[in-house]
Chain A
Amino acid sequence: MDIGERVRQRARVQRPDVTQAELAAEVSMTPDALSRSLSGARHFSAVELARLASALETSMHWLVTGEDDPHRVLVAARHTYDSVLQRHDAVDWVVDREGITSLTNAYVQVFDDELGDPLTLLPSSPLAAREALVAAFGPGFVRRFAEAVESAFLIDVVRVPDISRAYSLSVAGHRVIAVAPTANWFFQNWSIAHELAHFAAGQLTDLVGVAAESPRAERSANAFAAELLMPAAEVRAIDWATVDAAAVAERIWQWGVSTDALRNRLANLAIIPADPIRELLLLKTQKVLRLYRGHTADPEIDEVSERMERASTRRFPTSLLRAHTDAVAAGAIGAGTLGWMLDVDPLDLEAQLAPTFAPPDLNRLAQELGLDGRGPE
Chain B
Amino acid sequence: MTRLHFADTTVLINFAHLGRVDLLARLVGANGRWSATVAAEWEASADWAGFDDEGAVDAMLGEPLSPESVDELLLTQTIRERLRMPGDPDGKHLGECESLAIISARGLDAQLCTDDTGARGQARRLGIGTVSTASLLVLAAKVGFLTPEECWDCITALVRLGRFLPDAPENYGALLARLGLVT
Interface of A with B (CB < 8 Å)? 28, 42-51, 54, 60-61, 64-65, 69, 71, 98, 101-102, 105, 108-109, 327, 330-337, 340, 346, 350, 354, 357, 359-360, 362, 365-366, 368-371, 374-376
Contacts and interface: CB of A to CB of B under 8 A. Distances in A.
A105 B121 contact: no
Nearest to B109: A368
B121 A371 contact: no
A337 B87 contact: no
A43 B68 contact: yes
B1 interface: yes
B121 A46 contact: no
Contacts of A102: 85-87
Contact of B86 (A43, A331, A337, A365): A337
Contacts of B82: 105, 108-109, 333
Interface of B: 1-2, 4, 27-29, 31, 35-37, 40-41, 64, 66-68, 70, 73-74, 76-78, 81-88, 90-91, 94-95, 97-98, 101, 111, 116-118, 120-122, 124-125, 131-132, 135, 138-139, 141-144, 167-168, 171, 175, 179-180
A49 B144 contact: no
13 contacts: A42-B66, A45-B67, A46-B76, A46-B97, A49-B73, A64-B73, A109-B81, A332-B121, A333-B118, A334-B117, A336-B87, A357-B167, A368-B1
A105 B84 CA distance: 7
A71 to B, nearest CB: 7
Contacts of A48: 36-37
A102 B73 CA distance: 22
Nearest to A376: B179
B70 A64 contact: yes
Interface of chain B, main secondary structure = helix
B96 to A, nearest CB: 10
Nearest to B171: A357
Contacts of B27: 369, 371
B27 to A, nearest CB: 7
B143 A45 contact: no
Given A346-B85, A365-B139, 10 more contacts: A42-B66, A45-B36, A48-B36, A65-B70, A102-B86, A336-B118, A360-B135, A362-B175, A369-B2, A370-B31
A46 B67 contact: yes
B143 A374 contact: yes
A48 B168 CA distance: 35
A64 B141 CA distance: 45
A50 B168 contact: no
